[in-house]
Amino acid sequence: MDALDLHADPADIACALVDIPSVSGSEAAIADAVQDALSQQKHLEVVRNGDAVLARTNLGRPSRVILAGHLDTVPVNDNLPLRRDGDVLHGLGTVDMKGGDAVFLHLAATVTEPDYDLTFVFYDCEEVEAARNGLGRIERELPDWLRGDLAIVGEPSNAVIEAGCQGTMRIEVRCGGRRAHTARAWMGVNAIHALTEPLRRLAEYRAREVEIDGLTYREGLQAVRVAGGVAGNVVPDEAVLAINFRFAPDRTAEQAEEHLRQVFDGLDLSVVDCAAGALPGLSAPTAAALVEAAGGQAAAKLGWTDVARFAALGTPAVNFGPGDPTLAHTREEHVASTEIRRVAEVLRDFLGK
């Protein structure tokens, strides 16, 4: 494997990163390459934590900006090696999120006298269950490395600042019944039929729209799975309706659960999983300066990203990276080289030379 040249065009760095397979749990090779390249930059302090690589400046600046990107991808889907079609890069990770990683690596090497102290975090296992996420391990083992005045997460955002993120909660509503032979159905109680009530409430639900810092977040409540039944000739005695709630960041996780218990009052509800959202934090001076450098416009992040982890630490955080997020995790992932360069130029203007 050729060494990464961090002084090259960031689009070329992205190409090199994409051609290093790094499905979640198998990031050692790409972490080695990133560590080797960053260790050549004499102005950076570099450490390795598992298959995460961290680097930072220690210039004594009054503020610190964190730039964070995950190195892993979802499984290969006949989209490696990288294919270059004119200005467009096609392949696994071009969007999610090796284009963003390439920008951060390029800046780590070429921005040597920034206006802020900088911390770069390239971490593992973002695309799998939260318990394995490298940021969580870093928070436990190297908490000092995640302290800053602003965090920029390089998730794809169409090269637009996406501030904060919505929370997500998964619940299950269970309905009980009594088994019977379907030839004598009147002797039983059909649990699947009992789902009519929670489904009616879902159909009538009206999602809330919330404006925070001038950005509009739209909540959503959707049934995502139905399970029930034991055989083709048995009245089912249990049915489960799985529901996902995307809630605006002005609600805490506790408030989100309380709201759902009101919506499904009288029904058997259990929370399966929850991740709190993150307020946009655009009133923070460093965040406002980034928005100005990006052209003065920002949008609300409707999905959940690791900006929420930084927000929980008290650090305002935004998403800013090249690529269309709707292409993430698809076989058709692709990103324009010009968009990668655009993100690099905005961040360079913001960070200083």
Q: Are 237 and 178 in contact (CB under 8 A)?
A: yes
Residue 51 is a catalytic residue: no
Q: Which pair of structure tokens corresponds to residue 313?
A: 């630490």
List the catalytic residue out of 27, 96, 101, 126. Answer: 126
Q: Which pair of structure tokens corresponds to residue 57?
A: 């400046």
Q: Where are the alpha helices (DSSP H) in the chain?
A: 10-18, 28-39, 99-110, 134-141, 196-204, 253-263, 285-293, 307-312, 337-351
List residues bridging with 55 in a β-sheet: 46, 120
The values of phi and psi at residue 212, to 5°, are -135, 125
List the catalytic residue out of 27, 51, 72, 127. Answer: 72
List residues bridging with 69 in a β-sheet: 122
**In whole angstroms, what is the distance from residue 258 CA to residue 146 CA?**
31
SS3 content of the chain, % helix, strand, coil (to 5): 35, 30, 40
User: Among all chains, which residue has been given the structure tokens 């994409």?
Assistant: 18
Provide the 3-class DSSP secondary structure of residue 81.
coil
Residue 87 is a catalytic residue: no
Residue 175 to residues 8, 194, 242, 269, Cα–Cα distance (Å) = 59, 6, 12, 9
Amino acid 87 reads: D
Q: Which residues lie closer than 8 Å to 280 by C-beta, 6 or more apart? A: 163, 164, 212, 213, 215, 249, 287, 298, 300, 316, 318
Q: Quick one: which H or E segment has residue 234?
A: strand 234-235
Residue 241 to residues 132, 167, 173, 205, Cα–Cα distance (Å) = 27, 20, 5, 16
Positions annotated as catalytic residues are 72, 126
